Amino acid sequence: MENTVRNDAVTTVTASDGDVDAVGGAPADDHVKTVADLFVECLVNEGVEVIYGIPGEENIPLMEAIERDGRIRFVLTRHEQGAGFMAATYGHLTGKPGVCLATLGPGALNLTLPVAQANASTTPLVAICAQGSVGRLYKESHQIVDLVSVFKPLTQWSSMIMTPESTPEMIRKAFSLSQHNRPGATCLVLPEDIAEMPAPAGAKPLPLPRPTHLMPADDTIDEAVALIREAKRPVILAGNGVTRAHAQDRLRELAELLNVPVATTFEGKGVFSDKLPNALGVVGFMHKDYENFAFDTADLIIAVGFSIQQFDPKKINPNDDKTIIHINTFVEDTDAHYSTALNIMADIDQTLAVLIGRLRWEGITFGDSHPAIRELLNREYTSCAADDSFPMKPQRIVYDTRSAVEDDDVVLVDTGALKMWMARLYPTYKSNTCVIDNSLSTMAWTLPGAVAASMANPGRPVLAVMGDGSFMMNVQEIETAVRCGCRMVILVWVDEAYGLIKWKMDIHDGSHEYVDFNNPDVVALGASFGAKGHEIESAEELYPVLRHALRSGSGVDIIACPVDYRENMRLIEKLGDIDFSG
């Protein structure tokens, strides 16, 4: 069967074997409805519009059912890891579960990294894996791996469909748990022989529940108001849960009402605009970074949408002497430096709305937004704006990137030394416009992630910022991007090394080893994929090349920009010397 790429919710299909009607969604009269067909109906019922993956022998029945139905776009990727990262990025940007698909054994095992990433960062994702026939699962059979056990510690829930009748319930459960109070990944395994069985008579998708919002209990709001009233120097810490709850406006209202500073995690960048006077930037780099001084002097931390996987709370509460109000949809894990005085487990937006109403009635306000911290941060951000040294300083690359990018453009920042510079210095003004993984801190997710981001925002440019180490780990997905007509730019910071590990080695004992490598010709590499490659050869070239690629270009652009990471150790020395008494 021809592998088609779908672009519409319902697609007209012409089939050579006569088993499909003219319009997708209805099998031909001579086709017996299978469990695979029922499976696809249930996916459509859950709102699935796109699946990323690679077919295999054992999921041919499911692939044929997707083709027959015609309402789900299947995006063929070049590696299952790329499919998982695309699904995770789709889930992060849309709030709906991203869906990825793999065959059994090695194909399924290739999904483990992006599935674990999604689960760690509370991103809704459903992984679908094929499996061999049930009759051979009990023995050491070809390519058989106990996938349910493999995925169980990496997900909210992992299970296998063992009877045709259970299909609607299990799919509903997989999607429900991926969006539960603590969103994350789920995995559903479909054996080949179960997929080919006739669907039970009358079997159909289960109705979706009406959305509900868990309201905070009145006594918890009373206690929160009392703790805030008693505080002298409170600070708000905002995490990725604010984005998930669409609570950015409430967060701003709370901060302005109390007149308190707001810091975000790396994953929370943009939930509180850096244009606002109370914005402190991000925390999570090191204890001596500028923003941490606000936490050093704080007596109350109002943590909104925060989880300890986003960064070690020891960096903001080393002595465990801060009063902490935890507002999220789930209870935080135990940590010696995150002892909460109050946990409010409820819808974040609704909680903030009720809390704001009570605080406004109480007339509580404070008066210190730490302008000195903002000045230090802005001074560093602009410090190399006119520095023409080459290779370019990280500060100059960040400054030129911000200058070339519009406020609404989506920027995906990979893991590596560049993540520290982008997270700290790149001003962000809206949620989901600077996306960083700092829970599992996975390398190489942004290139495939940009494919999904481009599809989710057709016509808008997407920028993936990567180190050269990350770039080569999933470089094959450039072919996917070109084939699917994606509009994206990949900016590669080139230092011919695993820069973050080199940095940490240098901090550890002043030397480094086993981290250096060589790179391909990016211009030739891009051309070989049908993309455009650009090699930056002077500092003044980056901004115009990047700006043109984002605003006037088309297709896929790859920009290689050499970076001078000697600034890494200079930053450590500078932050270590700061004496902040304000």
Omega before residue 209 within 30° of 0, cis: no
Of 285 and 154, the one with more pLDDT: 154
Q: What is the pLDDT of residues 72-92, one digit of tens each?
A: 999 999 999 999 999 999 999
- pLDDT band (50, 70, 90) for residue 16: very low
pLDDT of residue 28: 53
Concatenate the DSSP letters of all residues of 200-236 into one string: PTT--PPPPPPP---PPPHHHHHHHHHHHHH-SSEEE
Asked if residues 243 and 219 have their Cβ atoms less than 8 Å apart, the reply is: no
Please tell me the distance from the alpha carbon of residue 503 to that of residue 480, in angstroms, as a whole number. Answer: 33
Structure tokens at 228: 């805030």
Instruction: Name the amino acid, one letter, at 52.
Output: Y
Nearest Cα to Cα of residue 191 among 35, 380, 358? 35
Please tell me the distance from the alpha carbon of residue 494 to that of residue 410, in angstroms, as a whole number. Answer: 22
Say which residue the tokens 């911000």 belong to: 402
pLDDT of residue 242: 97
The greatest distance separating any two alpha carbons of the chain, rounded to the nearest whole angstrom, comes to 80
Percent of the chain predicted with pLDDT > 90: 80
Please tell me the distance from the alpha carbon of residue 520 to that of residue 268, in angstroms, as a whole number. Answer: 34
Q: Is 394 helix (H, G, I), strand (E, B) or coil?
A: helix
284-293, 374-383, 508-517, 564-573: which has the minimum mean pLDDT?
284-293
Q: What is the pLDDT of residues 386-400, one digit of tens each?
A: 999 999 999 999 999
DSSP letter (8 states) at residue 392: B
pLDDT of residue 398: 98
pLDDT of residue 508: 87
Query: What phi-psi label fits residue 532: left (phi over 0), alpha (psi between -120 and 50 degrees) or beta?
Result: beta
Asked if residues 556 and 478 have their Cβ atoms less than 8 Å apart, the reply is: yes
Q: What is the mean pLDDT of residues 15-28?
A: 40
Of 569 and 324, the one with more pLDDT: 324
pLDDT of residue 573: 85
pLDDT of residue 434: 98
Please tell me the distance from the alpha carbon of residue 548 to that of residue 527, in angstroms, as a whole number. Answer: 18
183-197, 226-240, 306-320, 393-407: which has the minimum mean pLDDT?
306-320
Nearest Cα to Cα of residue 495 among 577, 421, 439, 409? 421
Assess whether pLDDT exceeds 90 at residue 413.
Answer: yes
Nearest Cα to Cα of residue 430 among 308, 271, 239? 271
Assess whether pLDDT exceeds 90 at residue 446.
Answer: yes
Structure tokens at 51: 């699946």
Of 411 and 376, the one with more pLDDT: 411
Assess whether pLDDT exceeds 50 at residue 579.
Answer: no
Nearest Cα to Cα of residue 245 among 305, 303, 302, 310? 305
- pLDDT band (50, 70, 90) for residue 577: low
Instruction: Name the amino acid, one letter, at 85.
Output: F
Assess whether pLDDT exceeds 90 at residue 3.
Answer: no
Q: In the predicted model, what is the mean pLDDT of the chain? A: 91
- pLDDT band (50, 70, 90) for residue 13: very low
This model's pTM is above 0.75 = yes
Pairing of strands 434-436, 462-467: unpaired
- In the chain, the domains with their CATH numbers are 35-196 (3.40.50.970), 218-373 (3.40.50.1220), 382-574 (3.40.50.970)
Q: Give me the numbers of helices (H) and strands (E) for the chain, helices first please.
A: 23, 18
Structure tokens at 568: 């890494």
Is residue 469 within a helix (H) or strand (E), and if so which, with residue range? helix 468-471
- pLDDT band (50, 70, 90) for residue 544: very high
Please tell me the distance from the alpha carbon of residue 133 to that of residue 160, in angstroms, as a whole number. Answer: 12
Please tell me the distance from the alpha carbon of residue 518 to that of residue 500, in angstroms, as a whole number. Answer: 16
Percent of the chain predicted with pLDDT > 70: 94
Please tell me the distance from the alpha carbon of residue 48 to that of residue 179, in angstroms, as a whole number. Answer: 14
Say which residue the tokens 């067909």 belong to: 37
Please tell me the distance from the alpha carbon of residue 1 to that of residue 20, in angstroms, as a whole number. Answer: 12
Say which residue the tokens 């259970």 belong to: 166
Q: What is the pLDDT of residues 482-504, one digit of tens each?
A: 999 999 999 999 999 998 989 88
Please tell me the distance from the alpha carbon of residue 581 to that of residue 327, in angstroms, as a whole number. Answer: 30
Assess whether pLDDT exceeds 50 at residue 23.
Answer: no
Please tell me the distance from the alpha carbon of residue 545 to that of residue 536, in angstroms, as a whole number. Answer: 8
Is residue 349 within a helix (H) or strand (E), and if so which, with residue range? helix 348-362
Structure tokens at 464: 């993936």
Please tell me the distance from the alpha carbon of residue 522 to that of residue 445, in angstroms, as a whole number. Answer: 19
Distance from CA of residue 347 to its chain's centroid? 21
Assess whether pLDDT exceeds 70 at residue 33.
Answer: yes
Q: What is the pLDDT of residues 283-337, one digit of tens each?
A: 988 767 888 888 999 999 999 999 999 999 999 999 999 999 999 999 887 899 9
Instruction: Name the amino acid, one letter, at 322.
Output: K
Of 19 and 244, the one with more pLDDT: 244
Q: What is the pLDDT of residues 34-59, one digit of tens each?
A: 999 999 999 999 999 999 999 999 99
Instruction: Name the amino acid, one letter, at 555.
Output: G
Q: What is the pLDDT of residues 101-145, one digit of tens each?
A: 999 999 999 999 999 999 999 999 999 999 988 888 777 788 789
Q: What is the mean pLDDT of residues 6-21?
A: 33
Q: Which residues pair with 550 in a beta bridge?
A: none
Structure tokens at 532: 């455009």
pLDDT of residue 22: 34
- pLDDT band (50, 70, 90) for residue 31: confident
Asked if residues 82 and 107 have their Cβ atoms less than 8 Å apart, the reply is: no
